[in-house]
Copies of this chain bind each other. A is one copy, B any other.
Amino acid sequence: MILRIPLGRRVAAEALGTGLLALALIGSGLRAAALSTDGGVQLLATTLASVCALGVLIALLAPVSGAHLNPLVTLGLWWHGRGTAQALPAGEAVWYAAAQLTGAVGGALLADLMFGHGALGTARQTHTGAAEWTGEVVATAVLLLVVLGLTRAGQQRLAPVAVAGWITAGIWATASGCFANPALTLGRALSNGYTGIAPGSVPGFAAAQLVGAVLGLGLVRLLFGPARPGVAAGA
């Protein structure tokens, strides 16, 4: 039971993990944009590096903190598990989210420093409009469905590969590019490069991600039925 692990270690894992994820995403985007002249190759490389980091970090940190690495995953697991013995207390969920946001900012800072972009700027790529918001709704809904659906089916050991697999598909197949994570969205807003998002576009994305998370919880209920007390929520 990971809830017996001291909160400090779990919060450190969430901060470090989300920071390394932001570094992998932003850093690989900067390198890919510098190396290749083909937009498809740039996105292939960024996808590959990001989802490899994501899968490794989930596998490595799941035994420590549950490896949420995403405030909406924390929110979804808190909601799904509330009232059960395995429930993540709301106060700890807030600590998790704060660690994820802090970590993502740190990862963005490290990426910018390593690739010579100076310490934290703000990105200029506008991401807005119904198509991109729809993309974020779909991307986040399926992410929650994957995380909670595997938990409900007792298949959490597949999470590293399955989550990485969905993000791979979502990056290419959703109009928004599958941010699906408010912490990474914040980190990307603070780095002006290939993977950036203008700060003005962040609220719309965050709202769409939240809608997607709620929709994802509904899909879990639809496909896996009502949660049974004492079985749900893992983390």
Q: Is A134 located at the chain interface by the 8 A CB criterion?
A: yes
A224 contact set on B, CB distance < 8 A = 9, 64
Q: Given the complex of chains A and B, what is the CA–CA distance between A49 and B9 in angstroms?
A: 35
A56 contact set on B, CB distance < 8 A = 146, 162, 165-166, 169
Q: Given the complex of chains A and B, what is the CA–CA distance between A162 and B161 in angstroms?
A: 11
When the two chains form the complex, which single residue of B6, B28, B172 contacts A28, counting CB atoms closer than 8 Å?
Answer: B172
A69 contact set on B, CB distance < 8 A = none
Q: Is A168 located at the chain interface by the 8 A CB criterion?
A: yes
Q: State the Cβ distance, A106 to closest chain B Cβ, in Å.
A: 12
Contact: A222 with B12, CB < 8 Å? yes
A211-235, CB < 8 A from B: 219, 222-225
Q: Is A63 located at the chain interface by the 8 A CB criterion?
A: yes
Contact: B114 with A168, CB < 8 Å? no
Q: Is A61 located at the chain interface by the 8 A CB criterion?
A: yes
- The DSSP consensus for interface residues of chain A is helix
Binary interface profile of A, 126-170, with partner B (CB < 8 Å = 1, else 0)? 000001001100100010011001100101001001100110110
Contact: A60 with B12, CB < 8 Å? no
Q: State the Cβ distance, A193 to closest chain B Cβ, in Å.
A: 12
Contact: A27 with B172, CB < 8 Å? yes
Tell me the nearest residue of chain B to A32, going by C-beta. Answer: B40
What are the 8 closest A-B residue pairs judged by CB atoms, nearest first?
A: A36-B40, A27-B173, A53-B169, A28-B172, A49-B172, A35-B39, A114-B175, A40-B41
Q: Could you give 26 example pairs across A and B, Cβ below 8 Å?
A: A9-B222, A12-B223, A13-B223, A16-B219, A27-B172, A27-B174, A27-B175, A32-B40, A35-B43, A37-B38, A38-B38, A40-B42, A41-B44, A46-B172, A49-B168, A49-B169, A49-B172, A50-B169, A52-B168, A55-B165, A60-B153, A64-B153, A64-B224, A114-B131, A114-B174, A115-B175
